[in-house]
Amino acid sequence: MGLYRTAKLASLIITSILLVWMLSPTTIVPPTAPVEAITIYVTDYGWHSRLVLPSRNGILIQYAYGDWNYFALNQQDLINGLAALFLPTQGTLGRRTFSNTAQFEQIMERENASILSLKVGQAHVTRLLKLLDKRFNRHLETRIENSQTGLTFVQDNQDYTLLHNSNHELAAWLQDLDCQIHGLIIWANFRVKTKPKTQSPKPPFASALVSPPDIAATSPGRCDQRFLE
């Protein structure tokens, strides 16, 4: 009886640890001092996420990855859902553009998508955009327009699997932008963590001075700024 209780307790502890691990957010750590820093966005739709990159002409370009039947063709029945989860299926790359940040935020609000923003180097953004554009144009003959998502889809060479879904693809793109990714990647549960800034040493007499408490000023906005300090 004692052995049975010990085994049961151990299984409960292991299950609890696994659940906490799976439900914990995946942390994005942007580069600390990017050259020619520029703001990029991660859009969180609950189960999957997308990347939004600014082009040099001011247009924002959103890229998304997913299963061809389920995501691009809207064949979201049980059979296609199970196939996307448990079998390697045809992958797809989706793309759409926004004329400016205001339009982007307005559409994200209408689609009930959360927005994470972070800064990376301009050269990394330019290089990734070229790679994604080249990848998108590789199978341009398969292009379809999806009125539900607003995305234009093409078939992709990368198979879609449970271990390589839209969030895994997003993590790979962020790493190409010189970001670090920490945590288990399953669904869209990302947070942005900025590295603490180093403070200059205080003069010896500073400890004798009493400073007023810091008050962090906040301003309302559409972006969901989820930062872990």
pLDDT single digits (tens) 196-220: 655 555 555 444 444 444 433 333 3
Q: Output the CA–CA distances (angstroms, integers) from residue 2 to 5, 8, 138, in the order listed.
A: 5, 10, 62
Nearest of 180, 138, 141, 185 to residue 158 by alpha carbon: 138
Q: Strand (E) positions, the chain? A: 26-29, 37-44, 49-54, 60-67, 89-98, 114-121, 144-145, 152-160, 180-182, 190-193, 227-228
pLDDT of residue 56: 82
Q: Look at residue 47 and tell me if it is in a domain.
A: yes
Residue 64, SS3 per DSSP: strand
User: How far apart (Å, rounded) are the C-alpha atoms in residues 160 and 166?
Assistant: 8
Residue 91, SS3 per DSSP: strand
Type of residue found at 213: P
79 vs 17 pLDDT, higher one: 79
Total domains present in the chain: 1
Q: Output the CA–CA distances (angstroms, integers) from residue 78 to 46, 69, 84, in the order listed.
A: 19, 12, 10
Q: Look at residue 44 and tell me if it is in a domain.
A: yes
pLDDT digits (tens, 9 = 90+) for 42-54: 999 888 899 999 9
pLDDT of residue 213: 42
pLDDT digits (tens, 9 = 90+) for 94-115: 999 999 999 999 999 999 999 9
Q: What is residue 147's DSSP assignment?
A: T
Q: Look at residue 137 and tell me if it is in a domain.
A: yes
pLDDT of residue 199: 54
Instruction: Please give the average per-residue pLDDT across 20-28, as a whole number.
Output: 64
81 CB-near residues (< 8 Å, 6+ apart) = 70
Q: Look at residue 130 and tell me if it is in a domain.
A: yes
Domain residues for 157? 25-195
Does residue 18 carry a pLDDT above 70?
no
Range in 9-18, 46-55, 61-70, 103-112 the model is least confident about = 9-18
Q: Look at residue 111 and tell me if it is in a domain.
A: yes
| Confidence class for position 3, pLDDT limits 50, 70, 90 | low
Q: Output the CA–CA distances (angstroms, integers) from residue 161 to 87, 113, 144, 199, in the order listed.
A: 6, 23, 22, 45
Q: Look at residue 182 and tell me if it is in a domain.
A: yes
pLDDT of residue 216: 36
Q: Look at residue 214 and tell me if it is in a domain.
A: no
pLDDT digits (tens, 9 = 90+) for 161-187: 988 999 999 999 999 999 999 988 876
User: How far apart (Å, rounded) are the C-alpha atoms in residues 48 and 141?
Assistant: 26
